[in-house]
Amino acid sequence: MMNVIIVSKFFRAPKKMSLGDPKVAASIAGVAFALLAIAFGSGFAVRGSNGLAAAEIAQLKQDLRQQRGELKSAREDAQREINAVAARVGELQAQANRLNALGERLTHDGKLSDGEFNFDRVPGMGGAEMVHDIPAGDLLKSLDELQAKFDHSGAQLSVLESMLYNQQLQLSAIPSGRPSKGYITSGFGTRSDPFNGGRAHHMGIDFNANTGDPVLSAAGGVVSYAGVKSGYGNVVEVDHGNGYTTLYGHNSKLIVRAGDIVRAGQQLARAGSTGRSTGPHVHFEVHVNGRQVNPRKFLDKVGS
């Protein structure tokens, strides 16, 4: 039988406990079991608390990573939309520059008022409307609609430019310039023949000139003939298109050749008195669809 002696300052004398006593043994066993239960319970509680905290931290980390990914994706989407808008704005700016250049040409060529086609200047606008944010999708749609309007306007201006250019070509093909700086000495139509004294039909008009004075093309065109022609001496003929041709006769020297392209006011020859002529002058004829017409009505358009 085992005895346990307990010495403490709380006791006046040492206490002796016999483990053989069933009551004492049961009490000691109960206290030991309680202490072990408390120890094990505390350990499990600590481990359980630590595990729960670790799970919560792991979940928070996962949520943070997900939020960061969503934020990155949102930024990339926003940047793509910004890039798309910037690209469309660049296209529209290029279109506006083209329309502005085209408008400047039309303003100059068509003698329109300044600023008629100036796309750099923003027209005045006003109103009392409420302002709201515009979604990116609606903004791109608005840019598409603006692009369509620019394309339509550009097509219209291109057609207008083409029409104006064709009109200018037609006008430039109509004889309107003076072939010589001299004054008119003989008109178109019936007159007294300078050689025989009888009545004759003069098929052009004559300009006073000195030998060697420049003879100028009345309009742009192609030289259809340059050489000697009976009665005219050294002659130049220019085809201006649309049925218009001009003739310059009695020249002392020819400067152009058949096939040359000439501009209005370009020198064709030097004045002289070759052929059937009484003295140096410039003989000028205008033919429309092969028929001689009075050149004076064309010269009158420019105040000649």
Contacts of 241 (CB under 8 A, 6+ apart): 173, 221
Cα–Cα nearest to 226, from 262, 273, 201, 280: 262
Residue 119 pLDDT exceeds 60: no
Q: What is the mean pLDDT of residues 63-80?
A: 82
Residues 83 and 215 grouped into a single domain: no
Residues 40 and 189 grouped into a single domain: no
Q: What is the pLDDT of residue 304?
A: 45
Highest mean pLDDT among 123-137, 160-174, 176-190, 281-295: 281-295
- Determine the longest span between alpha carbons in the chain, in angstroms: 183
Assigned domain for 278 exists: yes
Residues 85 and 205 grouped into a single domain: no
Assigned domain for 126 exists: no
Assigned domain for 123 exists: no
Assigned domain for 297 exists: yes
Residue 257 pLDDT exceeds 70: yes
**One-letter amino acid of 245:** T
Assigned domain for 78 exists: yes
Measured CA distances, 126 to 118, 123, 129, 130, 199 (Å): 20, 10, 9, 12, 77
Q: What is the mean pLDDT of residues 203-209?
A: 93
Residue span of the structural domain in which 283 resides: 184-302
pLDDT band at 303 (very low <50, low <70, confident <90, very high): very low
- Spacing of C-alpha 156 from chain mean position: 15
pLDDT band at 201 (very low <50, low <70, confident <90, very high): confident
pLDDT band at 279 (very low <50, low <70, confident <90, very high): very high
Q: What is the mean pLDDT of residues 72-83?
A: 78
Residues 114 and 67 grouped into a single domain: yes
Q: How many domains does the chain have?
A: 2
Residues 26 and 156 grouped into a single domain: yes
Assigned domain for 128 exists: no
Residues 141 and 231 grouped into a single domain: no
Q: What is the pLDDT of residue 54?
A: 79
